[in-house]
């Protein structure tokens, strides 16, 4: 009897041992083709890197130089590549890509292929080489280095003929053999046609898919840089995302087609694509790629840079953020501070992973090495997976005590391909399950997906993967409770007198005052636009009640609203200059039209405000004016530096009592027949 019992026991151990053995030696899911190359995987892990646009265009205040400006125009006096690199490093970026040559053909290195290069400029008496200086600075500070070499060359006399293609390939050879390792090579897609072309000044059209022989270009690059990523051309390893405003699709597949050299759906990728071609989002911190003084006031806000981050890195794309280096050869202090601050904000938002100590369970586990715990360990190469034959799964995080969160980061183990097609989130508090928005159902994940939603408090978090192209392979899941984004409200009054206080984070609370006092959480709370049919100062702050923190105070001086006067000069679109919107403007005919307002009552008039159109590339800005009260000239003059800095102009003078004012434009920046007015108001005491 004892012997039988012992045998059963031994048998049991044997079976258990055998089962454990099998459980732990379950094979990984087969890769789902197409999969990324090792170099592509390393590229994904970089996530953000910087772009520099600098060249003759900078000195000519242009975006697309014609190719005819002499190299002598290029003269940065204080160039400092280390300042560029340190800015990017402090902003968490892993690399920098330089426009070694833009469409104007001017080369920032000492090339043998043309005279149109930095060696013929006054910079360092012709001894400078910015490709060298930047690649050295990158190596010194541990960043990778990449290059942009425009295929289109509006300077070169051979452009359009076979000779130019040889020149272009020679340029690639110089750049990829003389400056150390290149992590990414950018072939820009622009081929505008017309140009200087050595003086021919004509239109030259080519077929970009054939003309440049990109296959040969790739071979030259790979000779010294076998792991280099290639952007554009006919043999890319990454794809353009299809826009330049910083946004990948919420559905974003790393897979696509390179069919007849056309990429299909740049924004979303293609779920059934046959090559791994992940998206790169390129966007500039200012409207232009190159520096223009007149865009100093249009530097992207922290709020819009944050949105760009979540719409690129948070949507399975890499972010290539451009710095338009200024004329002195440095990134403007405002730009560099803005981007470093933005990085600190994002880092802070994604700092404390609240899933770290959760108990993790799943409805389906492939085997011991594929445990759901793998999604919260720090090992990128370990992942949770399910059994073959399943195209979904469920993972649950349980917390000892309720946890707050408003961000969720998910990552798939992409070496085995991109799989997830549909998933949603649910939370449980006090035994009740509820859906967590951002939307009912999400689609792709890929290398990284970050979701933002309203703060929820949970005992349990469940992620339900409804559809996947094969067994799930999820290597990382993190959740965070990001603090409110404390940007000061944007204050605007519309044509009807309603004041709007806009903030980017709808979880924040806004408080305001209308009596000049400083607002705090005991002031009036803003919940919808309010009527302000008077003159006065509106002050507003954004408040984070969890951390008891305030944004800077936004201040706006509002003059008497449109309801307190009649416009006596007829025009259909006068409402545009009282609507608080700097993008809508009124055109006034020079030497003929003016703005004339008659107040309902006599006023003590002491000045006026003029805002030119805030559209990009704005022209016809008023530079000189006359201002009358009841027919008497009370002020005349010019708006200094308005062309470079088209911000609101405030003119004040000794108060004059009167009812009717007239603002007459005298000159505009372009000596054009019309000028523009986006906003106008009269200051009264």
Cα 664 to Cα 559, 565, 566, 645, 660, distances in angstroms:
19, 18, 17, 21, 13
3-state secondary structure of 6: helix
Contact region for ligand FUL (CB under 6 A) — 20-28, 187-195, 423-431, 551-559?
187-195
User: Taking the complex as a whole, how short is the minimal distance between the CB of residue 58 and ligand FUL, in angstroms?
Assistant: 12
If binding is defined by CB under 6 A, does position 289 make contact with ligand FUL?
yes
Contact region for ligand FUL (CB under 6 A) — 182-190, 219-227, 458-466, 625-633?
182-190
User: Taking the complex as a whole, how short is the minimal distance between the CB of residue 270 and ligand FUL, in angstroms?
Assistant: 22
Which residue number, 96 or 491, has a Cβ lying nearer to ligand FUL? Answer: 96
Q: How many residues bind ligand FUL (CB under 6 A)?
A: 6
Q: For residue 267, how many C-alpha atoms fall within 13 Å in the half-sphere facing its CB?
A: 9
User: Taking the complex as a whole, how short is the minimal distance between the CB of residue 190 and ligand FUL, in angstroms?
Assistant: 4
Which residue number, 318 or 669, has a Cβ lying nearer to ligand FUL? Answer: 318
Show the tokens assigned to 94.
Answer: 């892993």
User: Taking the complex as a whole, how short is the minimal distance between the CB of residue 88 and ligand FUL, in angstroms?
Assistant: 16
Of the candidates 284, 98, 91, which has an alpha carbon nearest to the alpha carbon of residue 182? 98
User: Taking the complex as a whole, how short is the minimal distance between the CB of residue 250 and ligand FUL, in angstroms?
Assistant: 23
Backbone torsion region of residue 320, taken as left when φ is above 0, otherwise alpha when ψ lies between -120 and 50, otherwise beta:
beta
* Per-residue interface string for the shown chain with ligand FUL, residues 599-638, x marking contact by CB under 6 A: ----------------------------------------
d(CA 208, CA 185): 17
Which residue number, 123 or 289, has a Cβ lying nearer to ligand FUL? Answer: 289
Which residue number, 191 or 369, has a Cβ lying nearer to ligand FUL? Answer: 191
Query: Cβ-closest residue to ligand FUL?
Result: 190
Residue 399, exposed/middle/buried by CB under 10 A (0-12, 13-18, 19+)? middle
Considering only 10, 13, 15, 190, the residue that binds ligand FUL (CB under 6 A) is 190
User: Taking the complex as a whole, how short is the minimal distance between the CB of residue 158 and ligand FUL, in angstroms?
Assistant: 21
Which positions from 443 through 472 interact with ligand FUL, judged by CB under 6 A?
A: none
d(CA 662, CA 521): 42
d(CA 347, CA 28): 33
Which residue number, 54 or 480, has a Cβ lying nearer to ligand FUL? Answer: 54
Measured CA angle at 222 (ends 130, 148), to 5 deg: 35
Which residue number, 112 or 207, has a Cβ lying nearer to ligand FUL? Answer: 207
Contact region for ligand FUL (CB under 6 A) — 161-169, 183-191, 396-404, 509-517?
183-191
What residue has token string 């290539």?
Answer: 320
Contact at 8 Å (CB) between 205 and 167? no
Which residue number, 64 or 550, has a Cβ lying nearer to ligand FUL? Answer: 64
Of the candidates 260, 251, 157, 164, which has an alpha carbon nearest to the alpha carbon of residue 201? 157
* Per-residue interface string for the shown chain with ligand FUL, residues 49-68, x marking contact by CB under 6 A: --------------x-----
Contact region for ligand FUL (CB under 6 A) — 186-194, 379-387, 396-404, 513-521?
186-194
Contact at 8 Å (CB) between 462 and 433? yes
What residue has token string 């070496």?
Answer: 415
Intra-chain end-to-end CA distance of the chain, in Å: 109
Contact region for ligand FUL (CB under 6 A) — 184-192, 341-349, 429-437, 661-669?
184-192
Which residue number, 174 or 188, has a Cβ lying nearer to ligand FUL? Answer: 188
User: Taking the complex as a whole, how short is the minimal distance between the CB of residue 213 and ligand FUL, in angstroms?
Assistant: 20
User: Taking the complex as a whole, how short is the minimal distance between the CB of residue 178 and ligand FUL, in angstroms?
Assistant: 23
Which residue number, 331 or 479, has a Cβ lying nearer to ligand FUL? Answer: 331
Cα 157 to Cα 29, 162, 166, 299, distances in angstroms:
56, 11, 13, 37
Of the candidates 339, 310, 345, 346, which has an alpha carbon nearest to the alpha carbon of residue 50? 339
Which residue number, 68 or 280, has a Cβ lying nearer to ligand FUL? Answer: 280
d(CA 220, CA 212): 13
Residues 6+ apart with CB under 8 A from 309: 48, 319, 342, 346
User: Taking the complex as a whole, how short is the minimal distance between the CB of residue 222 and ligand FUL, in angstroms?
Assistant: 23
Of the candidates 444, 362, 338, 463, which has an alpha carbon nearest to the alpha carbon of residue 405? 463
Of the candidates 268, 275, 267, 270, which has an alpha carbon nearest to the alpha carbon of residue 244? 267
User: Taking the complex as a whole, how short is the minimal distance between the CB of residue 189 and ligand FUL, in angstroms?
Assistant: 6
Show the tokens assigned to 284.
Answer: 């500039």
Q: For residue 24, how many C-alpha atoms fall within 13 Å in the half-sphere facing its CB?
A: 5
* Per-residue interface string for the shown chain with ligand FUL, residues 71-100, x marking contact by CB under 6 A: ------------------------------
User: Taking the complex as a whole, how short is the minimal distance between the CB of residue 290 and ligand FUL, in angstroms?
Assistant: 8
Are β-strands 384-385 and 262-263 bridged in parallel, bridged antiparallel, or unpaired? unpaired
Which residue number, 281 or 621, has a Cβ lying nearer to ligand FUL? Answer: 281
Q: Return residues touching ligand FUL (CB under 6 A).
A: 63, 188-190, 282, 289
């Amino acid at each position: 009897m004892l012997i039988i019992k012992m045998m059963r026991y031994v048998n049991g151990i044997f079976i258990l041992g055998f089962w454990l053995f099998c459980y732990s030696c379950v094979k990984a899911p087969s890769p789902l083709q197409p999969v990324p190359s090792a170099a592509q995987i390393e590229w994904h892990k970089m996530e953000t890197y910087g772009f520099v646009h600098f060249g003759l265009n900078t000195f000519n205040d242009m975006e697309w130089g014609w190719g005819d400006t002499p190299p002598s125009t290029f003269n940065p006096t204080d160039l400092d590549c280390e300042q560029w690199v340190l800015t990017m490093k402090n902003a968490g970026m892993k690399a920098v890509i330089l426009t070694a040559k833009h469409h104007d053909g001017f080369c920032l290195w000492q090339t043998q292929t043309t005279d149109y290069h930095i060696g013929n400029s006054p910079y360092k008496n012709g001894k400078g080489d910015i490709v060298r200086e930047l690649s050295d600075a990158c190596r010194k500070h541990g960043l990778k280095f990449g290059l942009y070499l425009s295929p289109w060359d509006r300077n070169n006399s051979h452009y359009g003929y076979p000779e130019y293609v040889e020149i272009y390939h020679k340029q690639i050879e110089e750049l990829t053999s003389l400056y150390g390792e290149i992590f990414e090579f950018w072939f820009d897609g622009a081929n505008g046609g017309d140009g200087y072309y050595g003086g021919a000044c004509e239109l030259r059209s080519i077929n970009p898919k054939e003309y440049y022989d990109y296959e040969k270009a790739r071979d030259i690059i790979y000779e010294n840089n076998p792991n280099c990523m290639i952007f554009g051309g006919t043999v890319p390893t990454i794809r353009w995302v299809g826009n330049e405003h910083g946004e990948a699709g919420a559905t974003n597949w790393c897979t696509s087609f390179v069919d007849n050299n056309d990429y299909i759906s740049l924004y979303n990728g293609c779920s059934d694509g046959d090559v791994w071609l992940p998206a790169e989002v390129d966007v500039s911190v200012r409207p232009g790629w190159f520096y223009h003084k007149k865009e100093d006031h249009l530097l992207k806000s922290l709020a819009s840079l944050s949105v760009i981050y979540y719409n690129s890195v948070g949507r399975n794309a890499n972010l290539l953020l451009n710095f338009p280096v200024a004329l002195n050869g440095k990134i403007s202090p405002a730009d560099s501070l803005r981007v470093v601050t933005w990085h600190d904000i994002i880092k802070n938002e994604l700092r404390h992973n609240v899933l770290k100590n959760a108990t993790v369970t799943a409805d389906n586990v492939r085997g011991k090495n594929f445990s759901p715990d793998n999604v919260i360990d720090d090992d990128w190469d370990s992942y949770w997976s399910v059994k073959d034959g399943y195209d979904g799964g469920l993972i649950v995080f349980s917390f000892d005590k309720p946890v707050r969160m408003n961000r969720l980061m998910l990552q798939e183990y992409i070496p085995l391909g991109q799989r997830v097609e549909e998933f949603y989130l649910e939370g449980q508090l006090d035994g009740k399950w509820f859906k967590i928005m951002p939307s009912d159902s999400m689609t792709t994940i890929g290398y990284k997906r970050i979701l933002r939603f309203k703060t929820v408090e949970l005992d349990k978090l469940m992620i339900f993967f409804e559809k996947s192209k094969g067994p799930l392979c999820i290597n990382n899941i993190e959740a965070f409770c990001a603090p409110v984004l404390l940007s000061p409200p944007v204050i605007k009054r519309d044509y009807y007198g309603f004041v709007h206080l806009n903030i980017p984070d709808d979880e924040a609370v806004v408080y305001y005052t209308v009596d000049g006092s400083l607002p705090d959480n005991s002031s009036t709370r803003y919940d919808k636009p309010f009527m302000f049919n008077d003159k006065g100062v509106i002050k507003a702050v954004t408040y984070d009640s969890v951390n008891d923190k305030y944004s800077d105070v936004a201040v706006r001086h509002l003059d008497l609203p449109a309801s307190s006067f009649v416009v006596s000069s007829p025009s259909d679109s006068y409402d545009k200059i009282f609507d608080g919107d700097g993008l809508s403007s009124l055109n006034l005919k020079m030497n003929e039209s003016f703005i004339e307002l008659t107040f309902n009552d006599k006023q003590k008039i002491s000045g006026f405000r003029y805002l030119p159109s805030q559209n990009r590339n704005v022209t016809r800005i008023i530079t000189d004016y006359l201002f009358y009260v009841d027919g008497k000239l009370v002020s005349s003059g010019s708006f200094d530096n308005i062309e470079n800095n088209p911000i609101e102009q405030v003119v004040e003078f000794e108060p004059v009592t009167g009812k009717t004012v007239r603002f007459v434009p005298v000159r505009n920046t372009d000596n054009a027949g019309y000028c523009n007015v986006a906003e106008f108001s009269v200051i009264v005491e």
